[in-house]
Amino acid sequence: MSGAGPLSPTVPASHPEKRGLLRMTPSLRPGEADMAAVLEKKKPKVIVCDGNEAAAWGVSLANVDMVAVYPITPQSSLVEYVAKFVADGRLKADIVDVEGEHSVLSVLQGGMLAGARTYTATCGPGLAFMFEPYLRTPGLRMPMVMSIVTRDTLSPQSVWGGHQDAMSVREAGWIQLYCETVQEVLDTVVMAYRIAEHHDVMLPVNVCHDGNYLSYGASRVELPEQADVDAFLGAKDVNWHVALDPTRPMGVDPLTGGAGGPGPRMFVKYRKGQCRGMQNALAVIEEAHAEWNRHVGRWHAPLIEPYRMEDARFALVTLGSMTGAAKDAVDEARGAGVSVGLVKVKTYRPFPLKAIAAALAPVEAVGVIDRSVDFGFDCGPLYKDVLGALAGLPRRIPARSFIGGLAGADITVGHVQRVIGEVAELAASGTPGPTAWLNERD
């Protein structure tokens, strides 16, 4: 499952987006090299754009019916791009400029229940404000797609990137996919509709891309052909299961539960169904990525991406755009004879527990880098989840939490090199030190 590897490991580490760009060249899964011949003929259209514009392109290609917008840094340019696409007639969607994020999601819920494919984007305080309708979206099995252009939460007041917003809603029942590159942002927004609207899933998807790093960083991006995307997505069918439509009258979301009668078992039925949809999503996400590759000719790792994990003694676990710098650091460490590998998590919710456990099972120590914190456990949230994966293994593998890149701070090759050093020590001692804060002395 390993990718083809970087074409140019010598690119300066201080420009993660640029490295991302270089990695954008299609990587083919082993055994699918015959697709290369197909791609040769297609001559993909190439543009240079940032992650926000890439998301807008994804929205346009997915033939979304309704977009509700409310601006917030660093998401604003994304909805501006969508509005422009609508104004230009490229995207034939209803664009609703509402009075706040709460209504953003509410308008879309109404639209979805009446049969519309919907999209929006937000971050940080906006996400917090839409929390009330946000919570009920997965419960009503609404297959909506929303980008979180991640931003650290208040306070201290901050407008820069960090995963704290998305991490704060990780147990709300939405699928969360984290992108590493601008190209992956575009591709994942489209794929998210196939995942969300799959009849075995019917759950909303957050496509997370890092504020600042991916939102504003411009890269070379290949635009898929509309016909390929159409073939990939198939027919729209978002409200077959729950609808507000006089031709199919029903009471949507009646009071359910209580201590007696059919209430308890009915509520459990819905909750369990929601959990089952989440677990079903693991296979559907893999299938969607495979189908994307088949139709469009570009491969992204669906759940996790193990990088140079062959014979690795230690492993790093990363999330989002930091992975670029981490891969460089791993390459450098391998060059220096250190047997280290990396596991990038793309699908964070549902948590790909088995895939992560399998990928980490052979190593002696693990370092998990988070761009947010888990207040309850004084560590990173991804770290805590990885501990859950490791706990099921027959052998105890020591792991340590590293937190960096908060509120727009960089996670550089240097930071990751330090992490690699700490993990090597951990492998020797077997005793994890306390949570390490990478930018504490920057």
Residues lying near another protein in the complex (CB under 8 A) are found at 65-66, 68, 94, 96-100, 102-103, 106-116, 118, 132-133, 136, 243-246, 248-258, 261-263, 266
The minimum distance between CB 344 and another protein, in angstroms, equals 36
Q: Quote the radius of gyration of the chain (alpha carbons, Å).
A: 21
Q: How far is CA 387 from CA 163, 282, 396, 435, in A?
A: 19, 20, 10, 13
- In whole angstroms, give the CA distance from residue 194 to residue 62: 9
Q: Which is nearer to another protein, 39 or 95 (CB)?
A: 95
Tell me the closest approach of the beta carbon of residue 174 to another protein, in angstroms: 17
CB of 262 to another protein, least distance (A): 5
DSSP state of 204: -
**Nearer Cβ to another protein, position 261 or 335?**
261
Report, in Å, the least distance between residue 196 CB and another protein.
17
Who's near 289: CB < 8 A, 6+ residues apart? Answer: 191, 299, 300, 301, 302
In the complex, least distance from residue 136 CB atom to another protein, rounded to whole angstroms: 7
Query: Per the omega criterion (within 30 degrees of 0), is the bond before 74 cis?
Result: yes
Kindly state the smallest distance separating residue 433's Cβ from another protein, in Å.
45
Instruction: Decide whether 258 or 392 has the Cβ nearer to another protein.
Output: 258
Closest by CA position to 191, among listed 81, 91, 105, 293: 293
Q: Which is nearer to another protein, 97 or 200 (CB)?
A: 97
User: What's the closest the beta carbon of residue 175 comes to another protein, in angstroms?
Assistant: 21
200/245 with CB nearer another protein: 245
Coil, strand or helix: which one is 75? coil
To another protein, the closest distance from the beta carbon of 68 in angstroms equals 8
Nearest CA-CA partner of 33 in 296, 297, 230, 381: 297
- CB-nearer residue toward another protein: 98 or 290: 98
Smallest separation (angstroms) from another protein to the CB of 144 = 11
Q: What minimum distance in Å lies between the beta carbon of 202 and another protein?
A: 17
Classify residue 336 as left (phi > 0), alpha (psi -120 to 50) or beta: alpha
Separation between Cα atoms, residue 236 and residue 262, nearest integer Å: 34
Query: Which has the closest alpha carbon to 201: 295, 297, 109, 286?
Result: 286
Looking at the Cβ atoms of 227 and 255, the one nearer to another protein is: 255
- Rounded to an integer, what distance in angstroms lies between the CA atom of residue 28 and that of residue 25? 10
Q: Are strands 347-349 and 175-178 parallel, antiparallel or unpaired?
A: antiparallel
Burial class (CB in 10 A: 0-12, 13-18, 19+), 275: exposed
Q: Which is nearer to another protein, 62 or 411 (CB)?
A: 62
Kind of pairing between the strands at 365-370 and 45-49: unpaired
Nearer to another protein, 159 or 266 (CB): 266
Q: Which is nearer to another protein, 63 or 158 (CB)?
A: 63
Distance of CA 292 to the CA centre of its chain: 16
User: Do 251 and 216 touch, CB atoms closer than 8 A?
Assistant: no
- Cα dist. 344→50, 121, 319 in Å? 22, 24, 6
Alpha-carbon distance 37 to 39, whole Å? 5
Q: How far is the CB of 424 from another protein (least distance, A)?
A: 51
Q: Is 99 or 440 the residue whose CB approaches another protein more closely? A: 99
